[in-house]
Amino acid sequence: MSNQLMEGLSDQDFLRYSRQIMLPDIGNKGQIALRNSTVLIIGCGGLGSSVGMYLSASGVGTLIIADGDKVELSNLQRQVVYRDNNLNQNKAMAMAQQLKGLNSTIHIEVISHKLTEPELSRFINQVDVVLDCSDNLPTRHEINAVCVKHNVPLISGAAIGWQGQLMLFSNNVTENNASCYHCLFPFTESHQVQNCQSFGIVGPVVGMIGNLQALETIKYLTQPGYMKWDSIHQFDGRSLTWSSMNIPKDNQCSICSSTVSNDVSRETNAIGDICHE
């Protein structure tokens, strides 16, 4: 282990993070683990806003944030990391500025264009976990394929209307039954892609899912044993109810299954894909 990885926390660090360091599950060791971690956040919309703010506040050492879009007036209702004066600015750049204002001690790397698959493949080996906060299905499947290929955990969030979804994939090769996003939502070129902009969305719902993505990331980086991988958790904001289920591996999945078996008894999942924000 290098000196930098073993280096302790400064007095300022102890003060800044005192309320999470005092948790026995986190402590100094967990805080140092957060500091030494790199998290890739793809998409700086409503999910990315919450994820970015909570992960920078909690002291994740390096955040790589990617988004090629500009901040629009209609974003401000739920993409709460932005301010009026960020309008028309690139989202990743504007978010980096806000996150630096929140915690100047962390390192933020900005990708101010849509992350391409080759770039993602290049970045993937530098990161401990990927957070999918993107807003369209093709991108989500591209991210999934790269994470599966490189065995990097993927924490996905999605929200539309009053509904939100949180999905957790370990992509761990040592777990034979590890499933992936494609097992849950099989995707083909002919797949009907929903247009997210034609659906309404309640700001706190997307914020809540983003917060949970941040929570799961902190858990993974400090207490990985707490993770409930290969699961989906769906929230209904009207009834305040949650439904959760394990995601079974699709033995015929073209992304995560190297062998095709005859086991096609897997149930079609009851929760349909929803638009992503």
Contact criterion met (CB below 8 Å) for 20 and 26: yes
Indicate whether 160 belongs to the interface with Zn ion (CB under 5 A): no
Give the range of 50-58, 157-165, 174-182, 262-270 binding Zn ion by CB under 5 A.
Answer: 174-182
CA separation for the pair 233, 236 (Å, rounded)? 10
Indicate whether 276 belongs to the interface with Zn ion (CB under 5 A): no
Indicate whether 253 belongs to the interface with Zn ion (CB under 5 A): yes
Active-site residue list: 196
Q: Which CB sits closer to Zn ion, 85 or 258?
A: 258
Indicate whether 140 belongs to the interface with Zn ion (CB under 5 A): no
Q: Which CB sits closer to Zn ion, 116 or 177?
A: 177
CA separation for the pair 178, 241 (Å, rounded)? 27
For the chain, list the strands marked E by DSSP.
Answer: 38-42, 62-66, 107-111, 129-132, 154-160, 163-169, 231-236, 241-246
Tell me the two tokens of residue 140.
């989500």
Q: Which CB sits closer to Zn ion, 111 or 180?
A: 180
Distance of CA 122 to the CA centre of its chain: 18
Indicate whether 141 belongs to the interface with Zn ion (CB under 5 A): no
Indicate whether 35 belongs to the interface with Zn ion (CB under 5 A): no
Indicate whether 183 belongs to the interface with Zn ion (CB under 5 A): yes
- Residues in contact with Zn ion by the rule CB under 5 A: 180, 182-183, 253, 255-256
